[in-house]
Amino acid sequence: MAFREVCVSEIKEVLRAWLAGAGHRVAGQRAGVDRKTARRYVEAGEASGLVRSGGEGQLSDELIGAVVLAVRPARTTGHGTSWEELVAWKEEISAWVKADLQLTNIHGKLTRRGLVVPYRTLHRFATEQCEFGSKRATLRVADGKPGVECQVDFGRLGLMHDPVSGRRRAVHALIFTAVFSRHMFVWLSFTQTLEAVLEGCEQAWEFFEGVFQVLIPDNLSPVISNADPINPTFTVGWLDYVQARGFGTDPARVRSPKDKPRVERTVQFVRENFWRGEEFFDLTDAQRRVEVWCRTTAGMRVHGTTAQRPAEDFTAMEVSLLLPAPTSRYDVPIFSTPKVARDLHVEVARGLYSVPGELIGQRVEVRADIHLVKVFSRGQLIKTHPRVKAGGRSTDPADYPVGRADYALRDVASLTAKATAAGPSVGVYAVRLLDVPLPWTSMRTVYKLLGLVRSYGPAKVDAACARALELDVVDVMKVARMLEQAREREPLPTPTAKVVGGPARFARDPEEFSGQLTLGLQDGTS
């Protein structure tokens, strides 16, 4: 049975009842103690000079002190004999504690070795002297200045039927708690994605009518990509949002709830006080009701630590010190690192966007919001496109190599302009070639016409096109034959002899070949 120390008021009540004529049992019942305890205090009072017929005037502070001293003698060390016996076993008990032995096992070992002490005494001794259990006292961290810090935590509340998917899904609560006032906001979601976290933040700033200067989140994967206790790495999406809203982030360490104690206990409070035992139609209905709960039940309760109503304390002390609330909703961007394909495009959210051709095969960084798609290479912005829907394409002709953009984009106007630059008749002929229901189907004939310009020269092709137009002949192959026949009728150029170098090495005088050749014999005869 656990020991309970009788207080001074209870001792005085026992003695008052005894002086009034009550027995030990009745006196003990009036004070809330048992009969044996009441008898010990009465006997100690009589030994100190208490007379039953002397009245309650005898119950002075000095008499009560003497009674207490007689029943509970003062201990010089503050502990009893059992504690003193354990002091001699301190080294052995410390070694067992360090070896992770259970305290009940240690208690049995001491008993088998002849040391019989109460388990509670052993527990107090091991805790205070042998580093058993809690080794350090809990220190309360200061709340800081109003309007500065807000702690955030994700907690699972339970299951809810989702009308969209037709099944029961887990509901998570993203809880924001103002450190100074303890005012809180809860955002419910089925997922723990970056979109859910950012949407919860946007709703929280609207609820608080401002933005806190520092947010202290748990190690949420949408926020922290590497949970280093000194230099944590934030996700690109979270950094983009922090920069847009102008606050700082001081994440808690892994498995360190003491880094965010103001919000740690509120997860259980939300689950037990708001969620448990309630029925909701859908997530929208639950979100509407939890916001009302935050303003009334949670916001207007008297907080156990601050002894203030969080909503009233927040309105009076914090709301005017917050950063300005956003005037427009944050557009959650898409971040990706696609590879530039051979067609000079990258795919972002199932849309295609062109980039310069020299980046084929390389990876680029892309940020896409609802309006723009920005492409970065080695930290430099190289391209900006308007956002297109899934399956769409945004192509800049300047990204294609020279001469390939017209055909790839079916740019009939650009192709006609090139033909006009070669000559007025060539331009008119190109327009006639493209004058069909689907002009892009005749682009190859215009490319053939431009090829003739490169082969025969602009002047000859322009003259041939003019002649063909007079005859109303719109056929690029006939223009080609006209140019070829005109070339055949042209006289061949007279070749000119070219003297290469000096006189031939074995050249002979022509006179040597005018007479008969005679051979000289060895003996001099002919």
Residue 288 lies in a domain: yes
pLDDT tier, 99 (very low <50, low <70, confident <90, very high otherwise): confident
Residue 316 lies in a domain: yes
Specify whether 290 is located in the same domain as 353.
no
Residue 78 above 70 pLDDT?
no
Instruction: State which residues form the domain around 67.
Output: 8-71
pLDDT confidence of residue 495: 63
Specify whether 94 is located in the same domain as 119.
yes
Q: What angle do CA 507, 513, 519 make, to 5 degrees?
A: 105
Specify whether 470 is located in the same domain as 426.
yes
Coil, strand or helix: which one is 273? helix
Specify whether 115 is located in the same domain as 173.
no
Residue 155 above 80 pLDDT?
yes
Going by DSSP bridges, is the β-strand pair 393-394/351-354 parallel, antiparallel, or unpaired? parallel
Residue 366 above 90 pLDDT?
yes
Specify whether 384 is located in the same domain as 484.
no
Residue 143 lies in a domain: no
Residue 518 lies in a domain: no
Residue 81 lies in a domain: no
The string of pLDDT tens digits covering residues 298-348 is 999 999 889 999 999 999 999 999 999 999 989 889 999 999 998 889 999
Mean of pLDDT values over 21-27 = 89
pLDDT confidence of residue 75: 59
Q: What angle do CA 371, 374, 377 make, to 5 degrees?
A: 175
**Final residue before a domain boundary, out of 381, 399, 417:** 399
C-alpha 35: how far from its chain's center? 66
Look at the pTM and tell me if it is higher than 0.75.
Answer: no
Specify whether 60 is located in the same domain as 165.
no
Between residues 397 and 378, the one the model is more confident about: 378
End-to-end CA distance of the chain: 161
Residue 326 lies in a domain: no
Q: Among 32-36, 180-184, 504-508, which stretch is predicted with the lowest mean pLDDT?
A: 504-508
Residue 431 lies in a domain: yes
Q: How many domains does the chain have?
A: 5
In terms of C-beta density within 10 A (0-12 exposed, 13-18 middle, 19 or more buried), how is residue 280 classed?
A: middle
Specify whether 162 is located in the same domain as 297.
yes
Cα gap 180→218, rounded to integer Å: 18
The string of pLDDT tens digits covering residues 484-500 is 888 877 776 666 655 55
Residue 295 lies in a domain: yes
Residue 37 above 60 pLDDT?
yes
Residue 381 above 50 pLDDT?
yes
Specify whether 284 is located in the same domain as 166.
yes
Specify whether 195 is located in the same domain as 301.
yes
Specify whether 277 is located in the same domain as 413.
no
Specify whether 97 is located in the same domain as 197.
no
User: Are the C-beta atoms of residues 423 and 461 closer than 8 Å to each other?
Assistant: yes
Specify whether 206 is located in the same domain as 355.
no
The string of pLDDT tens digits covering residues 213-236 is 999 998 888 999 888 888 889 999
